[in-house]
Amino acid sequence: MVQVLTQFDTIAAISTPIGEGGISIVRLSGEEAIKIANKVFKGADLTKVPTHTIHYGHIIDPKTNKVIDESMVSVMRGPKTFTREDIVEINCHGGIVVTNDILQLLLANGARMADPGEYTKRAFMNGRIDLTQAESVMDIVRAKTDKSREVAMNQLAGGLMEKIKAMRQELLDTMAQEEVNIDYPEYDMDDMTGKEMKDKALSVSAKIDQLLKTAQEGKIMRNGLATAIVGRPNVGKSSLLNYLTQDDKAIVTDVAGTTRDTLEEYVSVKGVPLKLIDTAGIHHTEDKVEKIGVERSKKAVESADLVLLLLDSSRQLSTEDQNLLRFTENKKRIIILNKSDLGTKVSQSMITKLTDSPIVVTSILQKENLDQLEKAIEKLFFSGIENSANQVMVTNQRQAGLLQKAKRSLAEVINGVDSAMPLDLVQIDLKDAWDTLGEITGESAPDELITELFSQFCLGK
């Protein structure tokens, strides 16, 4: 049972980005939220207005009666709010000075500054959401494509939470049966209970496997697919980056070595974010600056999820091209034979003899056949993601790590039953799995984990 913690002091923070804009929002949450807001608002008695209503008026300094700003103030009484506490949102003109003045006024009249993620933390502590939903809030904020936002919204709706809770309930029912066996040994049901324990461990373990299969896809949706654009100098890497981003992010010239460092940009392919890294041309050089760029390019390749290797099809394969083919052979990659408009000296059949990596023949300059590149990326990585907006996914390493830990405990249960261990000892591993699954949703998570998780949120969320 989650304890309701509405006795917390009242917090305040700016909930919109700092800067100039149409409006800014300063948010209060806590038992004194309405009372504090009423001290600085002139236009209506906020303590008497109906819940979930908005009111026009002015923010004033109660000590001087000086008008700070014209505003619209929303009043929302708990528990039907995000934090399950009373919430007041002050909609003011969007400006750094006026927004900060209103915040300081609220702090001077009884509120305290909210910690990063404290609104979402209160929603969790008051039983409004679980940890998977809390993490999805930040996923929504950080979403880079419509599809990653849709996946995060599915998590916020409780998709993963429901699956985890169902597995925990299965384990709990089995543990309860074993407790009956311990309390009433005269019924001698060890064989039946042992079989039930093993069957349940196998069943839940299989369900964990299904969730873990989504972890790689979830990671890509959350963080993007790290994609290194690689090739020797002047092969068309920067042109490809500019085409994919639809912008002149990289300098394009016919001078070799123009790009001397890695450039990064996010793009969307079939709704999935690609973190594109345009690397400096990998080649032998005596130039000190170019050497640094080449080393950074090699590191980018090593850490990439996908390599787009460009070769100049209008020229014979050079030693550098062959070195790059060997250097990237253990990576997931797509080979792009560029400059097809200038004639063909390196054909698709020639490369097919060297590798089974997908090959796209194109002229980036003429924008020929580039739709095949998107199809190749989709086939290589996203065959299971295309229609996954409503699929329950494991979206971060914390969730995946705990699922793997729970699976190891269930494996111990299976081994224990097969080895005819006393069932009260097997029960320990079953409870470990139950507790570990509870850490995913926050039902059995340690306080320090919860504090660390919410500290990663932005201020005002």
Dist CA 286 CA 91 (whole Å) = 59
Count CB atoms within 10 A of the CB of residue 156. Answer: 19
Q: Is there a binding annotation on residue 281?
A: yes
Does 27 carry a binding-site annotation?
yes
256 is in an annotated binding site: yes
Confirm whether residue 461 is marked as ligand binding.
yes
Q: Are 250 and 238 in contact (CB under 8 A)?
A: yes
Residue 208, token pair as written in the block: 């964990």
Residues in contact with 235: Cβ distance below 8 Å, sequence separation at least 6, in sequence order: 281, 310, 311, 312, 338, 339
Tell whether 258 is in a known binding site: yes
Pair 126, 31: CB distance under 8 Å = no
357 in a known ligand binding site? no
d(CA 248, CA 239): 8
Q: How far apart are alpha carbons 413 and 171 in whole angstroms?
A: 11
Cα distances (angstroms) measured from residue 355 to each of 194, 198, 328, 349: 52, 46, 11, 10
456 CB neighbour count, 10 Å cutoff: 10
Q: Is 237 marked as binding a ligand?
A: yes
89 annotated to bind ligand: yes
Give 300-366 as a DSSP string. HHHH-SEEEEEEETTSPPPHHHHHHHHHTTTS-EEEEEE-GGG--SS-HHHHHTT--S-EEE-BTTT
98 among annotated binding-site residues:
no
Q: Minimal CA–CA distance to 170: which of 358, 374, 437, 348? A: 437
235 labelled binding-site residue: yes
238 is in an annotated binding site: yes
Q: Which residues participate in the annotated binding site for (6S)-5-formyl-5,6,7,8-tetrahydrofolate? A: 27, 89, 128, 461
Q: Which residues participate in the annotated binding site? A: 27, 89, 128, 234-239, 253-259, 278-281, 461
Q: Which residues participate in the annotated binding site for GTP? A: 234-239, 253-259, 278-281
Q: Which residues participate in the annotated binding site for Mg(2+)? A: 238, 259
Q: Which residues participate in the annotated binding site for K(+)? A: 234, 253, 255, 258
